[in-house]
Amino acid sequence: MLEVKNLSFNYSKKNLFDDLSLEVQPGLYGLLGKNGAGKSTLLKLMSGELFPQSGSCLTMGVEALKRTPEMLSEIYYLPEEFELPSMTGNRYVESYSPFYPKFSMDFFRNCAEEFEIYPGDKLNSMSYGQRKKFMISFGLATWSSILLLDEPTNGLDIPSKSQFRRLAAAGASDERIILVSTHQVRDMENLIDPIIIVEEGKIIFNRSMEEISECISFQVSDIEPVGDDVVYYEKILGGFLTAYGKKDMNSRAVDLEFLFNMVVAKGKSVNGLFNGGVK
């Protein structure tokens, strides 16, 4: 489990997080937010690469900042930008997989084959997209209890993004946390659940798809919607995409980009739906 307790953190004089708390249980989570919202910083705090000014980040019950060998063997963090040594992919796996007791060579090979990358090649001769796919494959294959991925689809072409979604789903389990940070919500459709949204250093939304479907319905209409149960709407090609504060068996599937825009614009009203009605 990941647990953030009353965390405060700032860069120089800029206060980014103030008394932030969050619990993350096993699941394939989406951490959504605009650029600069604090997503990457939160992942670094969870992995112990940054230290909070106050409060704590507990990773598997251990203070992340201690970065004990036992904790590090159960967490894998892939930042958006990274450096790789001048060696082949196979040598990298040979050198670094022993740090992860549950590493699966078979799963790594399956990922590499799906991504169409060749671990026998030198890492520094690969394109950025190929290196990203190699590191995603390695991270999934660690079978670490916690996998933190920061903007994993950046640098991937359209087919590779589809491959990533399939592999991430295959790498999920009831005992594993996969936390995917992204601002490219379209890339995560039909993958992430629950959804966590960060805005200006605060967690403004943290709900599962089941909770959302129980309280909100999504419909398209030809005319501009009106009524007390209208939470939010956007003009789209062919009409208006609208969120209503009620359950409807005929609701459309959740559009993540629309959901994100709605929460950022109408956060209090949206969260109020989960406490008994439109606020």
CATH code at position 32: 3.40.50.300
Question: Residue 38: which of 23, 56, 50, 26 has the closest Cα?
Answer: 50
Q: What's residue 186's pLDDT?
A: 84
Residues 32 and 135 in one domain: yes
Q: What is the predicted pLDDT for the residue at 185?
A: 85
In angstroms, rounded to a whole number, what is the distance separating the alpha carbons of residues 45 and 52? 7
CA angle 128, 176, 1 (to 5 degrees): 110
Residues 74 and 200 in one domain: yes
- Does the structure show a pLDDT above 70 at 201? yes
Q: 218 lies in which domain range?
A: 209-275
Task: Give me the pLDDT at residue 187, please.
Answer: 87
Residues 14 and 151 in one domain: yes
Whether the predicted model's global pTM rises above the 0.95 cut: no
Is there a single domain that holds both residue 196 and residue 223? no
User: What whole-number distance in Å separates Cα of residue 130 and Cα of residue 165?
Assistant: 16
Do 164 and 241 fall into the same domain?
Answer: no
127 and 214 in a single domain? The answer is no
Question: In this model, does residue 278 exceed pLDDT 50?
Answer: no
What is the per-residue pLDDT for 276?
A: 59
Q: Do 150 and 67 share a structural domain?
A: yes
Query: Edge to edge, what strands does the sheet with 195-199 contain?
Result: 75-78, 146-150, 177-182, 27-32, 195-199, 202-207
Residue 171: closest CA among 275, 69, 76: 76
Looking at the DSSP bridge assignments, the partners of residue 27 are 177
Answer whether residue 136 shows pLDDT above 60.
yes
User: Among 95-99, 185-189, 274-278, which is the least confidently predicted range?
Assistant: 274-278
In a shared domain, residues 31 and 102: yes
At residue 64's C-alpha, the angle toward residues 62 and 70, to 5°, is 60
14: three-class secondary structure by DSSP: strand
Q: Are residues 195 and 233 in the same domain?
A: no
Q: How far apart are CA 104 and CA 189, in angstroms?
A: 27
Boundary-marking domain end, from 160, 177, 207: 207
Q: Is the Cβ–Cβ distance between 89 and 123 less than 8 Å?
A: yes
Instruction: At 11, give phi and psi (nearest 5°).
Output: -100, 115
Q: For residue range 17-72, list pLDDT tens digits in order.
A: 988 999 999 999 999 998 888 999 999 999 999 999 999 999 888 999 999 999 99
**pLDDT tens column, 231-266:** 999 999 989 999 999 988 889 999 999 999 999 999
Alpha helices by DSSP H, listed for 77-116, are 89-96, 105-115
Q: Are residues 70 and 153 in the same domain?
A: yes
Query: 80 and 106 share a domain?
Result: yes
2 forms bridges with which residues in the sheet?
A: 24, 59
Give the CA angle between residues 179, 272, 211 to the nearest 5°: 45
CB-CB contact of 126 with 117 (8 Å): yes
Amino acid at the residue 207? R
**Are both 132 and 218 inside the same structural domain?**
no
Domains identified in the chain, total number: 2
Q: Where is the domain boundary, 147, 181, 207?
A: 207
CA nearest neighbour of 232 among 250, 218, 222: 218
